[in-house]
Amino acid sequence: MDGRIKSGHDDYRLGRPVIPVLSIVLPVFGLIGLGVVGGKSRLFPEAAVVGLSNFVLYVAVPALLFRTIVRSRPFEALNLDIVYAYYVPSFAVLVGALLLGRFVFGLSGGERASFAMGSMFSNTTLLGVPLVFATWGEAGLVPLMVVITLHSLLFATIFFVLHDMAKSGAVGWASAARLAAHSIVTNPVIISIAAGLAWALSGWGLPGFVSTMIDILGDATIPAALFALGASLAQYKVAGNVQHALSMAVIKLVVHPLAVFAAANWLFDLTPLELAVITVTAALPGGLMVFLVAQTYGVYVARAGSSVVLSTAGGVLTLSVLLSWLT
C-alpha cells in the first residue's frame, strides 16, 4: 500500500504535502470567524443561530453522511480497530482529567465532570465533518463516521451520569438508560448512518431528483456548519478561572491527539488514512456540548464556555501543524 487516498475531488498521499495546509485551515476557520461576526450582529439573533444550527445538525450533515454511505458502502469492510484506537486512549484521557481536576485543582464532583468533558469531548459534527471532508473528501468521512456514531451517545451519557452522581450521590441508572435510548432514536447522525446502511443493503438506486437534492444539501454542509459554529461561539466569552479553561484547551488540543495517535500507531492495525482521521478527530476543539452540559447542571459554566472558545482559537495553530504532518 503506497498511502494514496482517493477522495471525491482530489488525490492525496499521506506524509507528503500535496496541497498547502493553510489552503484548508484558513478557509475553515475564516468561515468560523465570519460566523462569529454574524452572531454578534443584529442580522443573526439567537433564534436565527439556533435555526441555522438545527439545519446543519438535522438536515445538511445527515444528507452528507447518507450520501457517503450509499455511494461508497464503507461498512462492508469495517475495521473495528478504529473504534478501539480512538476510544481506549480517549477513556484514558477522561480518567486522567478527572484525577487532575480532583488532586491538582481540587474540583468538586460536578466540576470534575465538566473539566474532564472539556478536556476530551471533540466538536465532531460542526467542525469535524467539514474539516475532514475538506481535507480528504468522502474517503475521510468513512473512519470519521465510525467514531461519531458512538461519540455523543457514549460520552454525553457518561458525563450526564457523572453530574447526576455528584448531585445526588448515587448513580441514576434508570435515568441514564432512558437518556441513552433517547439519544439513539433522536440522534440525527445515527439515524442518517442507519438509513444509509439500510438503503445501501437494499440495492436500490436513488431517483435522479432525490440524488440531486441530497447532493445540494451535502454540498451545503461545510459553509453552513462552520458559519453556525462561529455564530454559536459568538454567544460565549472567556470568563471564570482562565487557568482551568486553558488547561482544558491544552489537554484537548495536545494531549488527547497525542494519546490517540500513540495508541493507534503502535497498538492497532490502521491504514494511514484511518490513523490520520482519528488523530485529527481527537485534535478537534471542544464541542459546544461541553458548555451545554455544564449549563444544564449549573456548574462550571463560565470555565466550560471559556474552554470551548480557547480551544477553538488554539485549534487554528494546532490543527495546522497536525495537518501539515499528516497530509
Per DSSP, the three-state class of 5 is strand
Count of domains in the chain? 1
- Provide CB contacts within 8 A for 191, sequence distance 6+: 62, 185
Report the alpha-carbon distance of residue 195 to residue 192 in Å, rounded: 5
**Can you read off the three cell numbers belonging to residue 185?**
432514536
Q: Can you give the residue range of the structural domain that contains 185? A: 16-326
User: Is 57 contained in some domain?
Assistant: yes
pLDDT for res 183: 63
Given a cut of 50, the residues of the chain with pLDDT beneath it are 1-18
Per the structure block, which three cell numbers stand in for 137?
Answer: 473528501
Closest CA to 142 of 274, 12, 269, 11: 274
In a domain, 8, yes or no: no
- Give the separation between CA 108 and CA 298, rounded to whole angstroms: 13
CA distances from 204 to 65, 113, 207, 305 (A): 17, 45, 9, 45
Closest to 86 (Cα-Cα) out of 94, 74, 98: 94
* Stated pTM of the model: 0.86
What is the DSSP code (8-state) at residue 21?
A: T
CB contact at 8 A, 111 and 300: yes
E strand or H helix that includes residue 61: helix 61-72
Is residue 11 one of the residues assigned to a domain?
no
Kindly report, residue by residue over 12-48, the tens digit of the pLDDT: 444 444 456 778 888 999 999 999 999 999 889 999 9
Q: What pLDDT score was predicted for residue 219?
A: 87
Residue 173, Cβ density class (10 Å: 0-12 exposed, 13-18 middle, ≥19 buried):
exposed
Tell me the helix, strand and coil percentages in the chain, rounded to 5: 80, 0, 20
pLDDT in the model for residue 7: 40
In a domain, 85, yes or no: yes
Residue at 138 is within a domain: yes
Q: What is the pLDDT of residues 135-179, one digit of tens each?
A: 999 889 989 988 988 887 788 778 888 887 787 655 555 665 666
Q: What is the CATH number of the domain that holds 27?
A: 1.20.1530.20
